[in-house]
């Protein structure tokens, strides 16, 4: 069993003890299978592509971009070889094409050190990522959770998290930021895992997770 699997098994045990309502979800869903994502640049690229469009549209555009960049995962070098018009040709908006190029430039210039981020703190990772046009706090949090498997990230502004908490706690309305943060205090130091179960709760309906 790898280190992350051990951590998440401990997380599930902790969350079962500290939150009886979440325990019901954990028992129904099963183990959290998150593991670090190897292709960090591609993960950020996909996050930019996915902004403010449907999951199906994002998937189509990303597949076109992947085809355009050639065999294997999109890389900084592959993106830098494409013109702005070529980026636009796959369905990216003018703004997103600019964001994609800026991401590649920032990584190439070593302003965003993707290869070192597993050695950096959550705060350091976030500070580097939000330098990139089109990447804000939410995207940085998703990268920490799904790219690096950091165990204690809580994206309180995420609509899915709010809806999941509303469903788990049977609240009359969707909770605000402060209510979510207060509830999540009981989940520390495993708020990433608890958040994952919030998303899975919605899939029982079903609904999509964040990515």
Angstrom distance (rounded) from CA 28 to CA 11: 16
pLDDT level of residue 168 (50, 70, 90 thresholds): very high
Domain identity same for 132 and 179:
no
Residue 208 lies in a domain: no
Residue 145, Cβ density class (10 Å: 0-12 exposed, 13-18 middle, ≥19 buried): buried
Q: Which domain holds residue 48?
A: 40-147
pLDDT computed for residue 206 by the predictor? 46
Count other Cβ atoms within 10 Å, centred on residue 130.
Answer: 14
Count other Cβ atoms within 10 Å, centred on residue 62.
Answer: 20
pLDDT computed for residue 197 by the predictor? 96
Q: Which tops the pLDDT comparison, 29 or 4? A: 29
Sole residue written with tokens 């799904």 = 146
pLDDT computed for residue 201 by the predictor? 92
pLDDT level of residue 1 (50, 70, 90 thresholds): low
pLDDT computed for residue 204 by the predictor? 74
What CATH code is carried by the domain that includes residue 24? 1.10.1670.40
Mean predicted confidence (pLDDT) in 54-73: 94
Angstrom distance (rounded) from CA 73 to CA 78: 9
Which residue, 97, 178, 103, 92, is CA-closest to 136?
Answer: 103
pLDDT computed for residue 130 by the predictor? 97
Angstrom distance (rounded) from CA 164 to CA 209: 10
- Sign of the torsion formed by the C-alpha atoms of 184, 185, 186 and 191: positive
pLDDT computed for residue 211 by the predictor? 42
Residue 210 has pLDDT above 70, yes or no: no
pLDDT computed for residue 207 by the predictor? 41
Percentage of residues of the chain with pLDDT beyond 70:
96
Residue 211 lies in a domain: no
Residue 16 lies in a domain: yes
């Amino acid at each position: 069993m790898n280190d992350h699997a051990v951590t998440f098994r401990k997380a599930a045990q902790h969350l079962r003890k500290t939150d009886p309502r979440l325990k019901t979800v954990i028992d129904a869903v099963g183990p959290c299978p998150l593991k670090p994502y190897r292709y960090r640049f591609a993960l950020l690229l996909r996050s930019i592509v996915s902004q403010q469009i449907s999951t199906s549209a994002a998937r189509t555009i990303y597949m076109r971009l992947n085809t355009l960049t050639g065999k294997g995962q999109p890389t900084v070098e592959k993106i830098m070889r494409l013109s702005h018009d070529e980026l636009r040709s796959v369905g990216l908006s003018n703004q997103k094409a600019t964001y994609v190029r800026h991401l590649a430039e920032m990584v190439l210039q070593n302003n965003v050190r993707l290869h070192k981020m597993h050695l950096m703190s959550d705060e350091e990772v976030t500070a580097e990522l939000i330098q990139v046009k089109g990447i804000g706090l939410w995207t940085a949090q998703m990268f920490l959770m799904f790219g690096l498997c950091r165990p204690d990230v809580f994206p309180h502004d995420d609509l899915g998290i709010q809806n999941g908490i509303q469903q788990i706690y049977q609240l009359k309305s969707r909770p605000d930021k402060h209510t979510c943060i207060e509830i999540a205090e009981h989940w520390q130091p495993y708020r990433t895992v608890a958040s994952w179960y919030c998303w899975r709760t919605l899939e029982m309906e079903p609904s999509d997770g964040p990515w």
